[in-house]
Amino acid sequence: MSQIADLKGYVSYALDCTRFRMVRDEADVENEELVFAPEMAHQIFGESESIFGYRDLKIEIMASAGPLDLYFDISYTKKVEELQTEGLKADDVEKSLAEMVENGSYYTNLDEFKRIHASKTAEFRPQGTKVDEFTYPLNGQGTGTRTFEVYVASAENAEYMKFHTRLEMFSFWYIDGFSRVEIDPLWLFFTVYERYEADNNNESASNDSANVRYATVGYVSVYQYYSYPKNVRPRVSQILILPPFQKLGIATRLIKHTTYEYFRKMENVTDITYEEPIEAIQHIRSVIDAKRCKELSAFAPDKLLAGFSKDMLHQARETYLINPKQCRVVYEILRLGVTDTDNVEQYRAYRIEVKKRLNMNYSRHRRDLARAKKRGMDVTVAMCGLPNVSERIESLNAEYKEVENIYGQVLQKLLAEG
């Protein structure tokens, strides 16, 4: 028992012992103010996000801000192999980190990393075609600005894809369920960079190209699915904004303007869809789409109260490339905004409308099972797995309350933005 108790001191929680740093100049290697933490580690170290075999484990991951050359430093005070244990080996931390990086392109010698950083940073330039540029006021004071540029590149761009594999390393730590994209010409990547001057990282770059530097901010990946008969339906797959650049409105800009304007100009785009967006991205998307649709005639208050219509679907898609599923969400948000919740009948009608949509999959599943039973199939086990009527009503009420709360947050944001 005492030996087992001793081994507990050799278990580290990956999120506590891992630190990141983006390096613009050599002094940043020692700058503690630049350190940021990962959000998840289960895709690297397993569901428990724990690492066995080390006491006082520290994992330092540095990346040159522009080209993202990587440096891994793994340190500890004692390793489990140093004890006389039978069959117990420490987890191979470097191997786990290396599996995230294509072709083993990382450094473990700090001096070598500094040399590579110094030789590449000044010459690094974004790959692809520039499609957007915007600024952000520093500290809301308006006395200085940070300048950001967005470039689009396809998976056919070999030079970009070499860079992208390094950028994807961060996705394992910040995008749940992440997997690398396959090389396919239908993939597009909208990558954001901050443009700055070498002498002052906080000021936008001047026209002196010798002093211009770029720091990588994040990316949006989009797959262009086929849409009958000869169109495409872009699907936003992943959105990653690195922590040092979060809360600057960059994700909102990419959704509201960059990707939308890029595809709006194409004549063969049916609509834009999203691949299971996380809650934060869906919230941004809903605010943007609701604000746009609020001005369309099909979404006038009297028409909202009359119910969901084909005119809403048509105008949302034709004007703003909003797909049917998102259009329905926008309708429910805007209808809540014009519903008098103190009017018993009006509020009840709204709740029924939303609950019908929430219950759609459940109802369809029951119908499918009923049809299968009529055809002579044994569906006993499947039917037993379904909740009874009272359980389903309770679950549906809880789902509805959650949806209304989310919709209320969107409406508050719309009100605040005017």
> Cα dihedral sign for 331, 333, 337, 341?
positive
Chain centroid to Cα 82, Å, comes to 41
Q: Is 107 helix (H, G, I), strand (E, B) or coil?
A: strand
Query: How many separate helices (H) and strands (E) can be counted in the chain?
Result: 16, 14
Instruction: Kindly report the backbone phi and psi dihedral angles of residue 367, in degrees, each rounded to the nearest multiple of 5, phi listed first.
Output: -65, -40
Alpha-carbon distance of 184 to 164, in angstroms, equals 14
The token pair at 243 is 């922590």
Alpha-carbon distance of 297 to 311, in angstroms, equals 9
Helix (H) / strand (E) element for 99: namely none
Q: 286 near 405, Cβ under 8 Å?
A: no
Annotation says 99 is catalytic: no
Instruction: Kindly report the backbone phi and psi dihedral angles of residue 229, in degrees, each rounded to the nearest multiple of 5, phi listed first.
Output: -95, -30
Burial (CB count within 10 angstroms: exposed 0-12, middle 13-18, buried 19+), residue 390: exposed
Q: 143 near 122, Cβ under 8 Å?
A: no
Query: Exposed e or buried b for every residue in 241-274, given b needs 16+ CB within 10 A?
Result: bbbbbeebebbebbbbebbbebbeeeeebbbbbb
Q: What's the start-to-end Cα distance of the chain, in Å?
A: 65
Q: 216 near 191, Cβ under 8 Å?
A: yes
Query: Exposed e or buried b for every residue in 104-127, given b needs 16+ CB within 10 A?
Result: eebbeeeeebbebbeeebeebebb
**Amino acid (1-letter code) at residue 118:** A
Instruction: Kindly report the backbone phi and psi dihedral angles of residue 201, in degrees, each rounded to the nearest multiple of 5, phi listed first.
Output: -70, -10
Spatial CA neighbour of 24 closest among 68, 61, 59: 68
Q: Which residues contact 299 (CB under 8 A, 6 or more apart)?
A: 293, 312, 315, 330, 331, 334
Catalytic residue among 82, 94, 133, 275: 275
Active-site residue set:
275
